Amino acid sequence: MNYEDIKKEIEEITKASADSGGSRIEQELAPLKEVMLKARQQGVTLKRLYDLLCKKGFKGSASSFAKYAQHHLQRTGKAKKTKTIPVKTTAEVPPKQESIPPISPSATKTKPRVAGGDY
């Protein structure tokens, strides 16, 4: 096995993939990225952007556009909603109950059950 030839081919492949600059949809929409980002920040929906692009000749699928938008067109102006749970302070915590006394053995005895009825 010639390791030098394999090493050169791997280097050529990595250079070619680095020169491509991403997927086809990223290359196709690169000139519109800033405009679409501003539109998203002003509340334009992804569906509306996708429909407009399709009318103008965009040939990508809706799922590929959604993946592109998820990565490149995130809304940065809105804060994410988080669910907050209030922490109880020591004043709100009820006192611990005293331990329950053990049950006496006579209270737990029951009559054996028989198929014909109880004796």
Q: For residue 65, what are the CA distances in angstroms to 1, 38, 81, 90?
A: 43, 17, 25, 52
User: Is there a contact between 64 and 46 (Cβ–Cβ < 8 Å)?
Assistant: no
pLDDT tens by residue, 68-117: 888 888 755 555 667 777 776 766 666 677 777 667 766 556 666 666 66
Would the pTM count as exceeding 0.85?
no
3-state helix, strand, coil in the chain (%, to 5): 50, 0, 50
Least confident of 1-10, 38-47, 110-119: 110-119
Question: How does DSSP classify residue 71?
Answer: H
